[in-house]
Structure 1
Amino acid sequence: MSSTEEPTPEPTQTYEQAREELADVVRRLETGGLTLEESLSLWERGEQLAEVCQHWLDRARERLAAAAPTE
């Protein structure tokens, strides 16, 4: 990270909230019956939610690695 970049802020949603909303987005997309614009909007929201979930998973992985004994 360069000195001009600011750290990424913590997401406002928890992992569980983002995962549940993402599952709802997927259900709605799979059900169909949406306009193209609605589908694209849901897809974009799903991408955002996937990033939030990935953030929390990466943080958990980092914490586990930091807590693991080194040999």
Structure 2
Amino acid sequence: MPEAARVGDTIGHSSAMTGLVAGAVIGSLISAAGGMLSGALFIAGLATSCLGVGVLLIGAAIAVGMAAGYLGDMAR
């Protein structure tokens, strides 16, 4: 690991922390949006389960939740 920057050194700080924080925020927003969408699809699936469409909507909710988690991890 390189030495830390000090006053008067020619070494400068990088913007790596900014990228880390931005990626964490974006990943969190993607995960939160996916979680809300997944929950809405799950509730719609439960509400329409007596019509036989509920199984499809519950499956879609699980798929959206898994995709949102994957995309959130990729953004971080």
User: Per the shorter chain, which TM-score range?
Assistant: 0.3 to 0.5
Normalising by structure 1, what TM-score? 0.45
Query: Which structure has the bigger radius of gyration?
Result: 2
